[in-house]
Amino acid sequence: MLRKLDEVVERLKKAKKVLIMGHIKPDGDDISSVATLALMLRKTGKEAEGCIADNIPWFYKEIPGVSVIKNVDDLANYEYDTSITVDASEISRIGDSVKLLKNGKPDITLDHHKTNVGFGEYDFYDSNYAATAVIVYEIGKMLGIEYTPELAEINLLGIATDTGFFKYSNTDRKVFQYASELVGAGANIQHIASAVLEHKTLNEIKLQSEMINTLKVEENGKLAWAYISYDMFKRNNCTDEDAGGFVSDIRALYGVEVAILFIEWPENQVNISFRSKNYVDVSEIALAFGGGGHERASGCSCKGEKLEEMMEKVIAKTKEILKKY
């Protein structure tokens, strides 16, 4: 049920032992929100554990606080009275963490995706927030948390990454205000930027060059798409983690409105990332294939599908939607 944020905070105040769960294929906002909320609640005297049922990309582990996040097996016997999901628009997004839920749904959900379906007892989701980490920061303010440099930096991670380091259209006045306050509390934005943006390996660059060779530009330059096959990953000794920022490079092409990257990983699964620059709502495309997200950044995962067939279907749907604009 949709609630006001102060209602969620009152529910949190009653908790004693908390489990916080993020989504699979974690990004900076997800990782930040799980770790920040766990550390915050510990500062109020509660027991709190963070869980992500997937690998955390190695470069995020350079940020203080990320190490607080555990996997599902580590928490199999953890007894809690309150469960929370963060940055997940539906329950399937938390992957195997669902095994830890007592009644099949969380007590609290916190999210900023417009495609959120509301699947908890206390739901707070609002797409006007630039990041779930912004919601978490406001919770911290309402709880009267005193920020340490470590806590400030892990919270700033989510705000910085989900705004494209303050260059996306969701970068509003609140984002700059909160980022300033977190830097004032000791967060090092240069450390975050270096860890997230300057970690490319030689193998990753080779993989990217192969991807560029697949690049297609259509619809009078408004649509650009590319793919990375499973064989391309193996040939360059890479995984899907190494392709995390490639779709943004496609969107960066001059004149492109919609960018799509198809990733075949693992075999017989196609993960698709959508990005738009100014006006196309790509969450509409993602929803058509079982996914979701934001107007400017969305995605979906299609298991048991062939790469070539999914590319054909998705490109056709995208061209159909582009005609509406």
Read off the pLDDT of residues 18-47 as tens digits, 9 standing for 90 and up: 999 999 999 999 999 999 999 999 999 999
Position 1 scores a pLDDT of 87
Element at 273 (helix H, strand E):
strand 269-276
Domains annotated for the chain, with CATH where assigned, are: 5-197 (3.90.1640.10), 202-322 (3.10.310.30)
- Burial of residue 198 (CB within 10 Å: 0-12, 13-18, 19+) is exposed
φ, ψ at 12 (rounded to 5°): -65, -35
Task: Quote the mean pLDDT of the chain.
Answer: 96
Structure confidence by residue, pLDDT tens digits, 183-230: 999 999 999 999 999 999 999 999 999 999 999 999 999 999 999 999
* Whether pTM exceeds 0.95: no
